[in-house]
Structure 1
Amino acid sequence: MPRAKEQKPKSKGAPPSVVPVLQNFLKTYQKHCIQSQTSLCPTIQRDLKSSIDREQSLRKFTLTRAGDSTTSSRPVSLEPLLMAILDERYTQGKEICIWGLQLTNPEIARLALFLESKGHTICPVTTLEIMNCEMDLWSLGRLGKALQFSSLLSLVLDYSKFGDEELESIFSGLEKNQRLQGLSLRYCGLGPQSGPRLGSVISQSAICELHLDGNYLQCSGTLALLRPIAEYADIQGKEQPTSASPHAGNPPLLPQACRERSSTLSQIVKSSEAVTVKRTSQKKRGGRGIRKKGKSLMEAGPWVSTLHLADNSIDGTGKEAEQLPELTRTLTCLIKHSTHLREIDLGNNVLGEMTAADILEALRARKTGKLPPLKITVTPRISSDTFTSIWKHSKKSNRTSKKTKKVVITRR
């Protein structure tokens, strides 16, 4: 008879196996689905079984619709998952992703309580992703209130159509939020009227990564969003000594003489005097800096590092054309002076030849000022000469030396 395969003895001090934990979690999740008369999410069931086979903790829970709606009339619900996390005290899950569900008020209420329980029980989740889901005004308002007390570092609400009231419910939980650092509102139907509110939120929160692709901000909305960021960068650029290190991790404090420049910036300056900002570039954090900063509060202020504005109808046509020159000045000011900006995406916006030329000059000025490298995506609908000049400018900085700052230009 073949000899049975001998199991290797576990070494002393080895961490306990995660398999029993995941098996118990799956059983508890199945129990709550039965009690609530809801369907078991096929994605969560699959991911849990896969994690058991690999003997690895499951960090991301993805809630989707049942695969075949004809086999079961019961909907997939968020509540059994949250109850299983609490019952099993499962602390390894860091992300909850909800795709394409119609979320009821009780589900959002349970989610809000779960996010707010960080000081009482366990709330290990740092990323919440709700994509293409239906929520009414009450649910959005309850979720907005929970954001003020949660430990979330990243919030994704892509493909959700928001009106003015719905947006205000979410924004109310973002102002003065010193934990949330990433916000994504792609393809949410945001128009020019959303620009001023977005600019206000960015100025009074710790958000440094903003993704707004696929909306309709146009020139006026984009200008209102960028104005407080550019004003701060302009003051910073004028007041910073030329000998300052271009890669200093902390944003410089504003001097007394500049505190009357604008009311918004004045509030930021007062808070900036209290503590030094602890934000570093995403590259220095190995692309995972948002998760590493979760336990400490960040200083609020308009120092965005990643800004995606692709496909936002930003062009020089129609009534918005008169706003394009001022938008260009604001954008180039941001490029020239912002020490925090690392990436900006303007793809699929017809900015025109003059704006492209101004962007090129701003990139040259940024290099002369020895600011950190900037990755920028621009539309291909510009002249070949302008694009080639931008390309040569960035390529030349690559060839000089490894220590020279480079600008990466992407054409899309």
Structure 2
Amino acid sequence: MPRAKERKQKPKGAPPSVVPVLQKFLKTYQKHCVQSRTSLCPAIQRDLKSSIDREQILRKFVLVRAGDSTTSTLPVSLEPLLMTIRDESYTQAKEICIWGLHLTNPEIARLALFLESKGHTICPITTLEIINCKMDLWSLGRLGKALQFSSLHFLVLDYCKFGNEELESIFSSLENNQRLQGLSLRYCGLGPQSGPKLGSVISQSAICELHVDGNHLQCSGTLALLRPIAEYAEMQGKDQPTSASPHTGNPPLLPQVCRGGSSALSQIPISSEAVTTRRPSQRKRGKRGIRKKAKRLMEAGPWVVSLHLADNSIDGTGKEGEQLLELTRILTCLIKYSTHLRELDLGNNVLGEMAAVGILEALRARKTGKLPPLKITVTPRISSDTFTSIWKHSKKSNRTRKKKKKWRNEGMG
């Protein structure tokens, strides 16, 4: 037992403990809440105390409403948190998550100023989540202007219901954004009319991870979103020399934030071949033979790495269904030619047997062309043979087979 205690003691020259920093942060946060006559956020208080007990840096701040059991009738506000980060020069925070609050114009104004301090800010936030929150048109416009000057890599606006004016404000602020890599607009009420805007945003920004699950894009909206991406992929695919596969030699460089790092949106599973290359003479040297990953951000263009379109009323019914055939053509073109695409979620959309067969043929062509593996999700409301074949061609199933083979070899050994 005494030896175990000795191990916990920090060696000479070790970095100072973070406990005093976090304790002071908590006191300052409590002071700002009292001065602004707002309630202390229970989640932030809990996370700070937990980080103090574990002696670990707190990088993610989650701002939620006070529980029903609280005796305080004061609202939880974003301003005290931002003021505390500023006053304490807390440089370790990377994520701010705001859930279920009614954000006022002064709160958004302070947040915008906080985000706009790129380059000289004490705390460059890379992920901002605003989930199920209420914001008016002015707030959305002010937040949109700040995006161009922020250090954000990921923006999440899930469950925020937007009207046409609000959506126009959001989309206009995202175009030509060269830093934002991930965007999530799940269950935001996006309709078919949002498709062209989404396609334009993808074409003119560096966004490579898009989540629009739970909306109503339908066939026409999805078609407008996918068309520029698919046409670009087809053009790039046909321009590739037949003797050199895009999956061998020099693969496409993906942005750092889209290559396996954790994010608020999802962790994109990308195979090691997609981001590193080995020389034939160095394959047995382990890490020495792996080239360093490029640190530069990818240029803007109509391509994506991860695309989530689940539950978007994409089916062959009604007037919208008349465009399902063209959508299938565009979709299969994207699967067949895109060297960037790694994940595609079409779950809970009734595409039908014909579209499913087209997807299966595109996956087979993708494999024949030696393109990077693709993880794809479709609804099981198709024939069992087609569904099983698509599942087998998905990247996930390939991993499973490799693990099974490894376990069998270990068992035989």
User: Is this a same-fold pair by TM over 0.5?
Assistant: yes
Find the aligned partners of 2:166 and 2:297 in 1 and give their Cα distance.
27
Encode CA deviations 1:45-67: one digit per residue, 9 max, x unaligned: 00000000000000110000011
Distance in 1 (CA, whole Å) between partners of 2:386 and 2:135 is 46
- The question of whether the paired residues in 1 share the 8 Å contact of 2:61 and 2:95 is answered with yes
Distance 1:160 1:295, change over 3 A: farther
Instruction: Tell whether the 8 Å contact from 2:60 to 2:94 is kept in structure 1 after alignment.
Output: yes
Partner of residue 196, structure 2 = 196
Query: Which residue does 1:103 correspond to in 2?
Result: 103
1:106-127 C-alpha deviation (Å, 9 max, x unpaired): 0000000000012333232100
1:153-181 alpha-carbon deviations (Å, 9 max, x no partner): 00000000011111121122211111110
The 10-residue stretch of structure 1 (241-250 or 326-335) with the greater mean CA deviation from structure 2: 241-250
Query: What code does the residue aligned with 2:322 have?
Result: E
* Structure 2 partner of 1:325: 325
Task: Give the aligned partner of residue 378 of structure 1.
Answer: 378
CA deviation map 1:180-225 (0-9, x unaligned): 1010000000000000000000001110000000000000000000
Calculate the TM-score normalised by the size of structure 1: 0.84
Deviation, 1:244, is 3.1
Q: Distance in 1 between matches of 2:140 and 2:354?
A: 42
Partner residue in 2 for 1:92: 92
Q: Within 2, Cα distance between the matches of 1:338 and 1:378?
A: 18
Identity of aligned residues (%): 82
CA distance in 2, matches of 1:106, 1:391: 49
Task: Decide whether the 8 Å contact of 1:199 with 1:224 is kept in 2.
Answer: yes
Contact persistence 2:256–2:296 (CA under 8 A): no
Question: For each residue in 1:245-289, what CA deviation from the matched residue of structure 2 results, as whole angstroms up to 9, or x when unmatched?
Answer: 4156654xxxxxxxxxxxxxxxxxxxxxxxxx6537955668489
Whether the aligned pair in 1 keeps the contact of 2:92 and 2:123 (CA below 8 Å) is: no
Q: 1:296–1:289: structure 2 CA closer, same or farther, 3 Å change rule?
A: farther
In the TM superposition, what is the alpha-carbon distance from 1:311 to its structure 2 partner? 0.3
Structure 1 pair 84–43 and aligned structure 2 pair: CA distance change class (3 A): same
Matched residues in 1 for 2:116 and 2:335: separation?
A: 38
Query: 1:189 and 1:88 mapped to 2: Cα distance?
Result: 39
Verify the 8 A CA contact 1:249 1:280 in the aligned structure 2. no
Kept in 2, the 8 Å contact 1:179–1:294? The answer is no
TM-aligned CA distance change 1:313 to 1:110, over 3 Å = same
Residues 213 and 309 in structure 2, CA contact (< 8 A), matched pair in contact too: yes
User: Structure 1 residue 166 and structure 2 residue 185: aligned?
Assistant: no
2:338 maps to what in 1? 338
Instruction: Report the CA distance shift for 1:111/1:249 in structure 2 as closer, same or farther (over 3 A).
Output: farther
Q: Secondary structure at the match of 1:318?
A: coil
Aligned 1:365-404 pairs, distance under 5 A: 365-391=365-391, 398=398
3-state DSSP class of the match of 2:144? helix
Q: Distance in 1 between matches of 2:98 and 2:249?
A: 38
* Displacement of 1:13: 1.6
Partner of 2:247: 246
After TM superposition, the structure 1 = structure 2 runs for residues 187-226 of structure 1, keeping only pairs within 5 Å, are 187-226=187-226
Alignment of 1:3-402 (within 5 A): 10-68=10-68, 71-242=71-242, 243-246=244-247, 251=252, 279=255, 282=258, 287=267, 296-391=296-391, 398=398
Please report how far the alpha carbon of residue 363 of structure 1 lies from its aligned counterpart in structure 2 after TM superposition. 0.5
Shift of 1:235: 0.1
Q: What's the CA shift string for 1:279-320, capped at 9, x where partnerless?
A: 379556684899xx9985431011100000000000000011
- Structure 1: unaligned runs, 5 residues or longer: 252-276, 403-412
Give the SS at the match of 1:311.
Answer: coil
Q: 3-state DSSP class of the match of 2:174?
A: coil
Structure 1 residues 201, 25: closer, same or farther in 2, change over 3 A? same
Q: Given the superposition, is the C-alpha separation of residues 64 and 201 from structure 1 closer, same or farther in structure 2, using an over 3 Å criterion?
A: same
Partner Cα separation in structure 1 for residue 71 and residue 147 of structure 2: 37
* Contact 1:145 1:172 survives alignment (8 Å): no
Residue 13 of structure 1 aligns to a residue whose secondary structure is coil
Q: 1: CA distance between counterparts of 2:88 and 2:131? A: 27
Task: Summarize the Cα distance change of 1:398–1:139 in structure 2 as closer, same or farther, 3 Å threshold.
Answer: closer
* Gap change, CA 1:333 and 1:8, over 3 Å in 2: closer
Q: Distance in 2 between matches of 1:8 and 1:332?
A: 57
Task: Give the Cα–Cα distance (whole angstroms) in 2 for the partners of residues 122 and 209 of structure 1.
Answer: 27
Do the aligned residues in 2 keep the contact of 1:281 with 1:342 (CA within 8 Å)?
no
Instruction: Give the drift of 1:85.
Output: 0.3
- Conserved 8 A contact 1:278-1:299: no
Alpha carbons 2:181, 2:258 under 8 Å: kept: no
Structure 2 Cα separation of the partners of residues 102 and 69 of structure 1: 20
How far did residue 12 of structure 1 move?
Answer: 2.3
Contact 1:191 1:215 in 2 (8 A): yes
Match of 1:267 in 2: none
Instruction: Identify if the C-alpha distance between structure 1 residues 328 and 345 changes in structure 2 by more than 3 Å, giving closer, same or farther.
Output: same
* 236-245 or 47-56, which deviates more: 236-245
Cα–Cα, structure 1 residues 148 and 391, in superposed 2: closer, same or farther, change >3 Å? closer
Decide whether aligned partners of structure 1 residues 239 and 288 sit closer, same or farther in structure 2, where only a CA change above 3 A counts. Answer: closer
Query: What is the letter of the counterpart of residue 375 of structure 2?
Result: K
Report the equivalent of 2:407: none
CA distance 1:357–1:74, shift in 2 (3 Å): same
Count of aligned residue pairs for this structure pair:
370
